[in-house]
Structure 1
Amino acid sequence: MGFFLETLIGGLMAGMLYSLVALGFVLIYKASGVFNFAQGAMVLFAALAMARFAEWVPLYAGITSPLAANLIAFVLAAGVMFLVAWVVEYLVLRHLVNQEGTTLLMATLGITYFLDGLGQTIFGSDIYKIDVGMPKDPLMAFQSVFEGGLLISQEDLVAAVIAAALVAALSVFFQKTSTGRALRAVADDHQAAQSIGIPLNRIWVIVWCVAGVVALVAGMIWGSKLGVQFSLSTVALRALPVVILGGLTSVPGAIIGGLIIGVGEKLSEVFLGPYVGGGIEIWFAYVLALGFLLIRPQGLFGEKIIDRV
């Protein structure tokens, strides 16, 4: 029982990190109705900015406190992501209003390669470290309940708490604020949203800024765990089954989908892996997503689209 709970808790914490990356896809899709292939590049670019600013702030500002240096680096990196959001809206999105979804999709592919190249040019292509003070040592818990206790990664636990707090804040933002309702209106119909006075350009800047902050938090956490390297952009691919499972238009769906994928990966690898030769954790999520595409293409919480002709 203890080993099962260890695996379950590890899956839930991994699932929260998947949900955090998946949120970036959901945010952009809810505002523009297009799948943002640039989300992985945004995670990498934000992590590079955070890592390099954390190196440069003590060097050039003379700040010796690691906490202060990381806080300043986070603020500067968030400012960079806001600038990226404004540039993307000013140079790309405002010229593609009311265009076909395929056109917007290709635009996000172009943004992906632009951010990859720009990140390498400005911040370099080495492997960098992000140290935000998250504890690395495992934690032994519930020793009086289970024999030997439960071994829990403190780093994963702190990361899961941060991800959960951000997810909760974004859920409230979309459901309870006028800006959140405006974002949903823009996603439904650009022209109708403009006709009732919703400023489309401002809404797109806001959503890309929010998506940039989400990418920064995700990049900071994953960079702390794996190091900041250009393979970090592939982390976003792990979130694709999450948005398929939960639904591209649902913030709660990203949460539930991430938890299901995280738990499913861990449990299948531990309990089914020995019977299939291992490696099931790599492809489990994609097989599950394929099954949902065949049975329920809109996902668990996605909106069913009916075309009338």
Structure 2
Amino acid sequence: MGFFLETVFGGLMAGMLYSLVALGFVLIFKASGVFNFAQGAMVLFAALAMARFAEWLPGWIGVENIFVVTAIAVILAGAVMFVVAWLVERLVLRHLVNQEGATLLMATLGIAYFMDGLGQTIFGSDIYKIDVGMPKDPVMAFESVFQGGILLNKEDMVAAVVAALLVLLLSLFFQKTGTGRALRAVADDHQAAQSIGIPLNRIWVIVWCVAGVVALVAGIIWGSKLGVQFSLATVAMRALPVVILGGLTSVPGAIIGGLIIGVGEKVSEVFLGPYVGGGIEIWFAYVLALLFLLVRPQGLFGEKIIDRV
């Protein structure tokens, strides 16, 4: 039982990391109806900015304290993501208002490739590390309950807490603030929202800024865990099944979907993998997403769309 619970906890922690990336997809789709294929590139760009600022700052300001350097690097990287969001709206989205969804989708693909190249040009293409002081040593828990206890990763536990707080704040933002309600109105109908005085351009800047902050948090945690390298952009592909499972318009759904997929991957790989030769963890999430597309395409918490003719 102890080993099973250890596997489940490991899956939950991995699922929270997937959910952090999936949140970016949900936020932008919820506010603009655009499936943002640039989210993976945003995570990579934010992680690169964070890693390189943390490396450059001691030489710039003459301070070696890791907490001071990390705090300033986070602020600077956040400012960079705000600038990126503003430029995306100013140079791309502003000119595509009321266009077809396919047009906006292709625009996000172009943004993704551009950000990948720009990140390499500005920050370099080596593998960088991010050290924000998160504990990396595992801890043994529940030793009095299970023989040998359960081995838990402190870094994953911190990431899970950060993700949970982020989801809580975003849920309150969408439900309790005027800007959040405006974002939902824009998602329902761009033209109707404009007709009642909601500034579409400003709303899109806000949502891309929020998605940039989410990308920064995801980039810091993934970068701290795996190192910052250009394969980090492919993490977005791991988050796609999470979005499909939880629902494209549900912030809590991104978390629940991530937890389900994280646990399913780990448990199936550990307990079924030896019987089928392994590799289940690679395709499990995509098969599960395909099944949901067949029986419940809007996901667990997504809004069901009914077209009346």
TM-score of the alignment, normalized to the shorter chain, above 0.5: yes
- Alpha-carbon displacement from aligned partner over 1:264-289 (angstroms, at most 9, x marks no partner): 01111111111111110111000000
Is residue 107 of structure 1 aligned with residue 107 of structure 2?
yes
Q: Which residue of 2 aligns with 1:97?
A: 97
Deviation at 1:177, TM superposition (A): 1.2
Equivalence map 1:47-126=2 (5 Å): 47-126=47-126
Is residue 31 of structure 1 aligned with residue 59 of structure 2?
no
Q: Which residue of 2 aligns with 1:229?
A: 229
Give the distance between the partners of 1:266 and 1:172, measured in 2 at CA.
31
Give the distance between the partners of 1:227 and 1:125, measured in 2 at CA.
12
Count of equivalent residues = 309
Give the distance between the partners of 2:141 and 2:18, measured in 1 at CA.
24
Moved over 6 A (4+): none
Q: Secondary structure at the match of 2:272?
A: helix
Q: Which residue of 1 aligns with 2:260?
A: 260
Deviation at 1:135, TM superposition (A): 1.1
Deviation at 1:253, TM superposition (A): 0.9
Q: Which residue of 1 aligns with 2:208?
A: 208
Deviation at 1:165, TM superposition (A): 1.0
Question: If the length of structure 1 is used for normalisation, what is the TM-score?
Answer: 0.99
Q: Which residue of 2 aligns with 1:196?
A: 196
Q: Secondary structure at the match of 2:131?
A: coil
Q: Which residue identity lines up with residue 46 of structure 1 in the other structure? A: A
Q: Which residue identity lines up with residue 56 of structure 2 in the other structure? A: W
Q: More displaced, 42-51 or 133-142?
A: 133-142
Q: Secondary structure at the match of 2:268?
A: helix
Give the distance between the partners of 2:113 and 2:152, measured in 1 at CA.
38
- Alpha-carbon displacement from aligned partner over 1:150-201 (angstroms, at most 9, x marks no partner): 1001111111111111111111111111111111110111010011111111
Q: More displaced, 6-15 or 72-81?
A: 6-15
Q: Which residue of 1 aligns with 2:172?
A: 172
Give the distance between the partners of 1:266 and 1:191, measured in 2 at CA.
45
Is residue 139 of structure 1 aligned with residue 139 of structure 2?
yes
Q: Secondary structure at the match of 1:16?
A: helix
Q: Which residue of 2 aligns with 1:40?
A: 40
Q: Which residue of 2 aligns with 1:182?
A: 182
Identity fraction in percent = 85
Give the distance between the partners of 2:266 and 2:173, measured in 1 at CA.
31
Give the distance between the partners of 1:273 and 1:177, measured in 2 at CA.
47
Q: Which residue identity lines up with residue 188 of structure 1 in the other structure? A: D
Give the distance between the partners of 1:174 and 1:11, measured in 2 at CA.
28
- Alpha-carbon displacement from aligned partner over 1:205-253 (angstroms, at most 9, x marks no partner): 0000000000000000000011000000000110000000011011111
Deviation at 1:307, TM superposition (A): 2.1
Q: Which residue identity lines up with residue 241 of structure 1 in the other structure? A: P
Q: Which residue of 2 aligns with 1:247?
A: 247
